[in-house]
Structure 1
Amino acid sequence: MLTIDSLPGRTVQAEGREFLYCGGTSYLGMARNEDFATLLAEGMRRYGTNYASSRLSNVQLRVFEEAESHLAAYAGAEAALTVSSGYLAGQMVVKTWQG
């Protein structure tokens, strides 16, 4: 196991050396991106941390539909679906391919 000296971003520092960080949940460096942190804080103030985000709930925040519409338009797709993790996204793809 690699012990790191600070929070990971696109790279990590360990034992005085810099390494690309291609694991965990910050391989894009979002955890240390100041613009993203600002947007995240604004979103948390507006929407909270875990309210009506599950598709199994009886209500859903409109922001999820808006985000998926923007993502679909960006990708040139008819529709898009966002999920909470890369693992879940992969599982959905496999199940879709299996029929």
Structure 2
Amino acid sequence: DVVYINNAMIRNGSIQEGQLGPITIGKFFLDDGTPVTTAGGLIRAEAIDVDNLSVAEAARFYDDVQSGNYIAGQSGWRIRQNGSVEFNDGQFNGTV
């Protein structure tokens, strides 16, 4: 019930269930061949595509940020790198 393979190259494969040990992501590439990780082994920010992201420390943004439901002039919010912001249907207390 156990198969040991020292090295294998699989062109196409499918795993329905399984257990994996430590995974090295340095060998993952985007469709255009760009590696997902940096030379230091960190995941490149532009390679992250998630519905939710939690940041443990103060975040730095190098591009515009917006809510998932942002539609200009209609819903959500957007903060642009040029300093302009758009908040739709908000309530503010204090100085704005």
TM class, shorter-length: under 0.3
**Length-normalised TM-score, structure 2:** 0.25
**Length-normalised TM-score, structure 1:** 0.24
